[in-house]
Amino acid sequence: MTPVELSKAFRLLNHGPTTLITSAHGSQRNIMAAAWVCALDFNPAKVTVVIDRNTYTRELIEAEGTFAINLPSVQQIEMVKQVGSISGRDLADTDKFAEYGIDTFAAQAITAPLITACVAWLECKIIPEPHNQATYDLFIAEVVAAHADARVFSDGRWHFEGHDDLRTVHHIAGGVFYATGQAC
């Protein structure tokens, strides 16, 4: 794991990978799959994320003001499908991390856990924009720390060659994903 310069953090998202959003507030924590995540600015690094108003994640990130964007690889497809198939609100006395055996480690600047074995992580702080949040479920956030797996991202760019099992994923529809493909 290597730190990513914040002015290069947009490059983690530039190719449009599907992500996992992690959140925590008090003793509660959650994880959801999200494809509608996009770079918004270079420096300070900003992103947009769409979080439906009915999700448990929405409740936690609005209470805490922070969340993490984790980028899963093709090795983690089954986990991505699992966490996308249920609400953390419906799990009694447990959470999705325990339910599905998802290992995490501590973030640097926020409370949300980061998912082990993902290939990049963006720690984000919400820039309050109540109109966007209420009208469009659209959140704007500043990236306050970023990290990547140095085997596939270094010097500000992805290099998946030789690491097919670490390629990021792109959700098409109904649980079908494409891996990030060949350079062209």
Per CB under 8 A, residues contacting a second copy are 11, 14-18, 35-41, 46, 48, 50, 74, 77, 129, 131-132, 136-138, 140, 156-158, 160, 167, 169-174, 176-184
In the bound state with a second copy, the residue whose beta carbon lies nearer, of 138 and 150, is 138
Name which of 57 and 76 has its Cβ closer to a second copy. Answer: 76
Residue number with CB closer to a second copy (92 or 184): 184
Contact between 12 and 4 (Cβ < 8 Å): yes
Output 24 or 37, the one with its CB closest to a second copy: 37
In angstroms, what is the minimal distance from the CB of 76 to a second copy?
10
How long, in residues, is the chain?
Answer: 184
Q: What's the min distance (Å) between Cβ of 38 and a second copy? A: 4
Q: How far is the CB of 91 from a second copy (least distance, A)?
A: 26
Smallest gap, in angstroms, from Cβ of residue 176 to a second copy?
6
Q: How far is CA 22 from the centre of its chain?
A: 7
Dist CA 74 CA 122 (whole Å): 19
Residue 147's identity, in one-letter code, is H
Cβ closest to a second copy, residue 35 vs residue 86: 35
Q: How far is the CB of 6 from a second copy (least distance, A)?
A: 15
SS (HEC) of 127-149: ECCHHHHHHHCEEEEEEEEEEEC
Is-contact 157 66, C-beta < 8 A? no
Give the integer Cα–Cα distance in Å for 101 and 95: 10
Rounded distance between C-alpha atoms, residue 38 and residue 15, angstroms: 9
